[in-house]
């Protein structure tokens, strides 16, 4: 068992454990903070898979951006003074049975399939390759995503704006 | 089996996917549903990157994961704007109580 395996299992326990706490915790703010650990563990997986740039993007966009947005959402839609940060749940039993069955099928399928596995040589940095791909093969998608982000920015601002009545 | 390979990453992402679906199905609060969706998107991303490495497909998988992250950011911004509007209109964000498109 090499050091790589040990690190993988540590990150797997961190990720799955905190993901479980995210979906079962009663307190929304606690859930958001557990989500931080899940996203951090996934960034660790990216590092283990040799995707250095993606790990940094994961930390900056998810942990630095989306998680803060979610926390804003929690804080703005609950009365903090009433300590009403608890959230109800519904359909627990059918959900446990359904997703449990689904997870069993999915995991057994993943384990039984004979995947083609020939690990690629990881380059020292993926930055050159990613940058070259983004400006050659994927340049159309890249530009479209830029426009999409602009639309999302303007749309979110205009939807969330408070009307003066 | 103890040595980490493609299977291990796929199993972790399958578990994350199921937990995300569980969160989406069971939680009442709209923000919690969003957190479940983030979990699902992240599990898909792990698959992309894992196949990109172990399938020897070059960097295409990582590019796709990058695009998914960008889309997730746009989705979170729009969804939270909608949630704020819901809160303004209905004074709560429980998805089981909001069943009208207008007041």
CA–CA min distance A118, chain B (Å): 5
| pLDDT bucket at B97, cuts 50 / 70 / 90 | confident
- Interface with B, mutate which of A2, A16, A42, A68 (most B CBs under 10 A): A42
* Rg from Cα positions in chain B: 17
| Angle (nearest 5°) at CA B23 between B9 and B86 | 130
* DSSP for residue A58: I
Q: Which residue shows structure tokens 């606690």? A: A30
Question: What is the dihedral angle through the alpha carbons of A97, B99, A163, B77, rounded to the nearest 10 degrees?
Answer: 20
Tell whether B36 lies on the interface with A, counting CB pairs under 8 A: yes
Which chain A residue is nearest to residue B73, measuring alpha carbons?
A: A66
Q: Residues in chain A, how many?
A: 165
Q: Do A62 and B38 touch (CB under 8 A)?
A: yes
Residue A39 confidence (pLDDT) above 90: yes
Residue B56 confidence (pLDDT) above 80: no
pLDDT recorded at residue A146: 94
Question: What pTM was estimated for this model as a whole?
Answer: 0.89
Cβ-based contacts of A145 with chain B (< 8 Å): 67, 70-71
Residue B100, Cβ neighbours under 10 Å: how many? 8
Q: Do A23 and B36 touch (CB under 8 A)?
A: yes
Question: A144 — phi, psi (to 5°)?
Answer: -60, -40
Secondary structure class of A136 (helix, strand, coil) = coil
| pLDDT bucket at A79, cuts 50 / 70 / 90 | low
Q: Find the mean pLDDT for residues A6-28.
A: 92
Q: Which residue shows structure tokens 């069943």? A: B99
Cβ-based contacts of A72 with chain B (< 8 Å): 80
Residue A38 confidence (pLDDT) above 60: yes
Q: Find the mean pLDDT for residues A34-53.
A: 92
Instruction: Closest CB to A46: pick one of B34, B49, B54.
Output: B49
pLDDT recorded at residue A80: 57
pLDDT recorded at residue A84: 57
Q: Find the mean pLDDT for residues A1-21.
A: 92
* DSSP for residue A126: S
Average pLDDT, whole number, for chain B? 88
Task: With CA atoms as reference, report the closest residue to B27 among A70, A111, A16.
Answer: A70
Residue B52 confidence (pLDDT) above 80: yes
| pLDDT bucket at B71, cuts 50 / 70 / 90 | very high
Tell whether B59 lies on the interface with A, counting CB pairs under 8 A: yes
Sign of CA dihedral B37, B40, B44, B50: positive
Sign of CA dihedral A64, A67, A72, A73: positive
In angstroms, rounded to a whole number, what is the distance separating the alpha carbons of residues B72 and B48?
15
pLDDT recorded at residue A17: 95
For the record, the structure tokens of B98 come out as: 């909001």
Judge if ipTM > 0.85. yes
Cβ-based contacts of A84 with chain B (< 8 Å): none
| pLDDT bucket at B1, cuts 50 / 70 / 90 | low
pLDDT recorded at residue A92: 83
Q: Within 13 A of B38's CA, how many CA atoms are on the CB side?
A: 34
Residue A158, Cβ neighbours under 10 Å: how many? 9
Which chain B residue is nearest to residue A87, measuring alpha carbons?
A: B29
Average pLDDT, whole number, for chain A? 86
Residue A113 confidence (pLDDT) above 80: yes
CA–CA min distance B100, chain A (Å): 18
CA–CA min distance A11, chain B (Å): 10
Q: Within 13 A of A63's CA, how many CA atoms are on the CB side?
A: 18
Q: Do B54 and A120 touch (CB under 8 A)?
A: yes
Instruction: Closest CB to A160: pick one of B57, B75, B84.
Output: B84
Q: Which one has a higher pLDDT value, B56 or B26?
A: B26
Residue B99, Cβ neighbours under 10 Å: how many? 7
Instruction: Closest CB to A51: pick one of B16, B62, B80.
Output: B62
């Amino acid at each position: 068992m090499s050091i790589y395996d040990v690190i993988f299992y540590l990150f797997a326990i961190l990720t799955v454990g905190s993901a479980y706490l995210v979906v079962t915790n009663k307190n929304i703010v606690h859930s958001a903070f557990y989500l931080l650990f899940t996203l951090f563990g996934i960034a660790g997986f990216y590092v283990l898979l040799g995707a250095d740039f993606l790990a940094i993007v994961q930390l900056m966009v998810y942990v630095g951006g989306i998680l803060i947005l979610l926390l804003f959402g929690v804080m703005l839609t609950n009365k903090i003074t009433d300590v009403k940060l608890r959230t109800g749940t519904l359909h627990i039993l059918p959900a446990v049975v359904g997703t449990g069955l689904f997870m069993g099928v999915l995991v057994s399928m993943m384990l039984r399939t004979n995947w083609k596995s020939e690990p690629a040589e990881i380059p020292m940095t993926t930055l050159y390759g990613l940058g070259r791909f983004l400006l050659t093969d994927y340049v159309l998608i890249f530009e479209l995503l830029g426009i999409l982000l602009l639309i999302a920015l303007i749309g979110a601002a205009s939807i969330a704006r408070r009307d003066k009545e | 089996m103890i040595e980490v390979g493609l299977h291990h990453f796929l199993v972790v992402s399958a578990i994350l996917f199921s937990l995300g679906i569980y969160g989406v199905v069971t939680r009442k609060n709209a923000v919690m549903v969003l957190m479940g969706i983030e979990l699902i998107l992240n599990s898909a991303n792990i698959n992309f990157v894992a196949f990109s490495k172990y399938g020897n497909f070059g960097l295409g998988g990582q590019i796709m994961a990058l695009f998914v992250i960008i889309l997730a950011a746009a989705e979170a911004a729009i969804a939270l704007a909608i949630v704020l509007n819901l809160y303004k209109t209905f004074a709560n964000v429980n998805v089981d109580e909001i069943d009208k498109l207008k007041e």
